[in-house]
Structures are given as C-alpha cells and as structure tokens.
Structure 1
C-alpha cells in the first residue's frame, strides 16, 4: 500500500503537467479550429473575406470545396474553402 502511494506521489507532477497542457494549449486550439471550420462552412455569396495568403475579396460563388473570390469587376480567383482565414464583413440580408 505504501509503495503504491509513493508511486502515485512520484507520478503526480507528470499528471499535473498533462492536465495543464490540455487546458492551456490543446483545448483552446481545438476550440479555435472548430470556430474556423464553422466560419468556412457558413460562407455565403457577398461575404468580404481574407485568405490565408492575405488576399482581400468578395465571395462570388461557392461550390462544395471551392470558393470563387471576386477581386474587382473583371478578376475572379478560385480558392479552396480551407484557404479562407476570416470573414471581414458578412453579406447584409
């Protein structure tokens, strides 16, 4: 019994570190990734967006995994949906 208690006390700093890493590093990253994924799924035509490469534009068309971004009146570019970093302004319905 005493040996088991000593072993648990010896492992307790490692267990505390695992719990701290989970709550301060892993869990917030999972939350951020979930928010980004939800934002990418909720894209709509007319949304003003920024890509991960820094390109600013307006969503012109959306396919399953591809987004067509209108840069100006004559130029449109195709990007993967996962390349959208953020929505600056949502379309006013």
Structure 2
C-alpha cells in the first residue's frame, strides 16, 4: 500500500514534468485556492552566468552598439552637413547663385552682416537672412 502511494506520487510528477513548457506551468495543488495558481520555477542560474561585471557588460553591450550605429549612421553625417552649410554661408560672395529655404533662386548682390540681398529677377531684389539660404542652386 505504501509503495502504491509513492508510485502514484511519482506518476503525478512524471505527468506534471511532461506537461511543462520551459518550466512554466500553473500548478493547482490540493488545499490551494484555484484563483491563485502556483508556478513551477526553473533552477537558479549558475554562479557565473549572470552575475558580476561580465553580466553587466553583457547587459549594456547591445545598448552601446545601438548608440554607435545611430551615431555613425545618423548623428555624425548630420553634423558634417551642418558644418558644410555653415562654411557655405560664411563664404557667400557677390554673383553666387543660391536657393533659399522658401524655394527662391537668385544671385547674391550684396552681403551685409546677417542679411543677403538677392536678385531673383530683372530689377527684382529681395533681402533674405543668411539662415534661410539653403545652399547653392
């Protein structure tokens, strides 16, 4: 009789383990409220698996790699374009053909501080701030 109980208990755990999916199966044991299931848990991780400095490096390495990709593909090229545009604006000369941010195309007639006088047509001159010059036309 005693061996049959042990055998029944062994069979229960054998069935329970066969039903488990990655060690996560709700188990409702006798005497426990069915509204509060108990979950089977796996063994704790090995001592060196996720602890110490190696685990910290493994955690932050993907974030660092993502930042580097964003830096080299997005941030750095944008900074380079901004520097080139700033150099272009600083070196504006009379007679250069430029396009404004609004789409006007004209020739630089005069550069005065932060403003540029553009000739957009015959005897049609427009004052534009340097910041609104998009680039060469």
State the 1:28 CA deviation.
0.4
Name the Cα RMSD after superposition. 1.3
Q: Report the CA distance between 1:44 and its aligned residue.
A: 0.3
Name which structure has the greater RCO, CA cutoff 8 Å, separation 6+.
1
Q: Does structure 1 residue 12 correspond to structure 2 residue 61?
A: yes
User: How high is the TM-score relative to the length of structure 2?
Assistant: 0.61
Q: What is the aligned residue count?
A: 88
1:21 paired residue among 70, 73, 98: 70
What TM-score, normalized to structure 1? Answer: 0.88
Match of 1:56 in 2: 105
The separation in 2 between residues aligned to 1:87 and 1:13, in whole angstroms, is 41
Higher strand proportion (structure 1 or 2): 1
Q: Structure 2 stretches of 5 or more lacking a match?
A: 1-47
Unaligned regions of 5+ residues in structure 1, if any?
89-93
Runs of 4+ in 1 over 3 A off after TM superposition: none
The correspondence for 1:73, drawn from 115, 118, 122, is 122
